[in-house]
Structure 1
Amino acid sequence: MTSDDTLSRSRLLRDRLDACPPGQNGWREFEDAALETLCHLLVPPLTRPLIQPRSLSGIDRRDAVFPNRIGDTSQAWGLLRMDHDARYVLVEFKNYERDEIGKEEIDQTRNYMNKSLGRLAIVVCNKSPHESARRRRNIVYSEENKVILFLTTVHLHEMLDMKDRGDDPTDLILDSIDEFLLQHE
């Protein structure tokens, strides 16, 4: 893909993200646009995601799970695999109209994480989470050592800009983890 192709693709993805109506009417559109954006940004080095995989009992249905097969700790995803047992990267999508992401959504994401999946998840949302979500993820980290990141559409735009400049968009994820760990109490 040439740099012009990358720029065109990024422009298209930005437009798709921005065109998603918030709330129930636009949830599928948002999930599809955000997932396509993450694939553009993170595959490779991550492997294409499993979409809505269910647990054996069928009770748990995760929005997307990106396999992380990078073992080399000199690479960002290899380091994340080692530091957070991130053999898979769980991604949940939240496209709310009026409500904000709160502690319930954090608990849902936390419950999806287990030893085989790893301790790193990303909640992709159309707006910033409520303070209760931020506090709840601190508790989850303190009690279970699970890291839940928030990426808004603003972050996805920034990651697209990074890719367009030839930078690694994973750096924003690493920076988000550092920011989270430094503010944790």
Structure 2
Amino acid sequence: MYKTKSTWEQFEDLVKRILEVNNFFIQVHSPRGDSGFDFLGLFGNDRWAIEVKYYRTARARPSLIKAAAARVANNGLLGGTQRGMLVVSSVLPAELRLVLEEKFSITFVDRTDLRNYASVSPDLAEELDALLEADPDYVRELSVRHEAPWFKGRLINEREAPPSDTKGSELCNRLKETKRGKQAWSDYEKLCIDVLKYLFPNDLQGWHPQKRTDDGVSRYDFVCRVRPMTEFWSFLVEHLNSRYIIFEFKNYVGKIKQGQVLTTEKYLLERGLRKVAIILTRAGADKNAFKMMQGAMREHGKLMIVVDDEILCRMLHMKERGEDPTDCLFELTDDFLLSLPR
């Protein structure tokens, strides 16, 4: 079956074509990801390290932008480039851009810049507007094309870039080293708290512990108040009417079963504006547990998302690279709701 490209892949491809119509020669760079950058750009006599970041939220999140910028600068130097560019799908306020350019000595291109550069090709501009779901009034405000900022970029080796974030990798390694089962339940719980506070430092507040006994083990789960700062958290508040969210930590050796899901569901309260739970567990959920989660959503509007070790490490590496880990939660939720049976 044919599978369409994900939104971030479409955005990355579109950025490549927009740069090419603005006289860049673009090559896909290898390596990419943690130790590299997306594109090697040639413009005049300069080699550019170019990284592209797609965010579902239009408002720039400075902590993520800074993490991505540090990697562009450091990996660009290692890759032998003279200049660096970070292209983001969000909007960078002018004052934030000035601070970032001074700190990282690279060029920043946001959705406003990108729309102006795409205006040389009506087809590219229309494709970008559709992909980013641009408001018509916003498009009309961009009728005058600005001078491209890459002509004014500093050499990335003019100043030493701040070190790249490595905390995500450290937490992922701690997760892999934590044993599964009752004896390590407390260690797993403490690790999960560290992980969540690293991933979502500004999205959740409160962190209210609730003591309970499960399978003879006393442990704590946490209830947090949601701040709707991104598309995912806004979706929970506005469409699921869940101002609060429960985090459950289940350090089981194997997959969780329907009994564990039923226990979690009892803690979700419609009148308490608490209709969403994220279950962190080592190996995911079995088929019957998944069916029970589907039934809870279909019949009572209660959403439960299971995050196993693999997904958790993926989110930690996303945060490290300056990507938004809530985008991963959005995709998990989107896939779950799209597959919901009648």
TM bracket, shorter-chain basis: 0.7 to 0.9
Q: Deviations over 1:79-111 (max 9, x none)?
A: 3211112211111111112x4311111111110
Structure 1, unaligned stretches of length 5 or more?
Answer: 55-60
- 1:86 is aligned to 2:234: no
- 1:61-100 matches, within 5 Å, as 63-70=221-228, 75-97=231-253, 99-100=254-255
Residue equivalent to 1:109: 264
- 1:178 is aligned to 2:295: no
TM-score normalised by L of structure 2: 0.48
Contact 1:48 1:66 in 2 (8 A): yes
Residue equivalent to 2:278: 122
Distance 1:118 1:125, change over 3 A: same
Measure the CA separation in 1 of the matches of 2:274 and 2:208. Answer: 15
Query: Amino acid of the residue matched to residue 200 of structure 2?
Result: L
Q: Deviations over 1:30-75 (max 9, x none)?
A: 1111121011101212225222268xxxxxx8601121133x7x74
Query: Amino acid of the residue matched to residue 265 of structure 2?
Result: R
Give the 3-state SS of the residue equivalent to 2:247 in structure 1: strand
- 1:134 is aligned to 2:305: no
Measure the CA separation in 2 of the matches of 1:89 and 1:160. Answer: 20
Pick from 1, 7, 10 the counterpart of residue 168 of structure 2.
10
Measure the CA separation in 1 of the matches of 2:196 and 2:243. Answer: 17
Residue equivalent to 1:58: none
Contact 2:202 2:227 in 1 (8 A): no
Distance 1:5 1:29, change over 3 A: farther
Aligned-residue sequence identity (percent) comes to: 27
Pick from 195, 200, 218 the counterpart of residue 42 of structure 1.
200
Residue equivalent to 2:179: 21
Pick from 314, 329, 341 the counterpart of residue 158 of structure 1.
314
Query: Amino acid of the residue matched to residue 258 of structure 2?
Result: K
* Number of matched pairs: 176
Moved more, 112-121 or 170-179: 112-121
Q: 1:156: how far off?
A: 1.0
Contact 2:257 2:289 in 1 (8 A): yes
Distance 1:19 1:48, change over 3 A: farther
Moved more, 26-35 or 45-54: 45-54
Residue equivalent to 2:39: none
Query: Amino acid of the residue matched to residue 210 of structure 2?
Result: Q
Distance 1:92 1:167, change over 3 A: same
- 1:168 is aligned to 2:313: no
Give the 3-state SS of the residue equivalent to 2:242 in structure 1: coil
Q: Which has the higher helix share?
A: 1
TM-score normalised by L of structure 1: 0.86
Q: 1:8: how far off?
A: 2.6
Contact 2:223 2:247 in 1 (8 A): yes
Q: Which has the higher strand share?
A: 2
Q: 1:12: how far off?
A: 2.0
Measure the CA separation in 1 of the matches of 2:231 and 2:316. Answer: 20
Q: 1:6: how far off?
A: 6.5
Contact 1:46 1:66 in 2 (8 A): yes
Task: Kindly indicate whether structure 1 or structure 2 has the higher relative contact order, using CA contacts under 8 Å at least 6 residues apart.
Answer: 1
Moved segments of 4+, more than 6 Å = none
Residue equivalent to 1:57: none
Give the 3-state SS of the residue equivalent to 1:47 in structure 2: strand
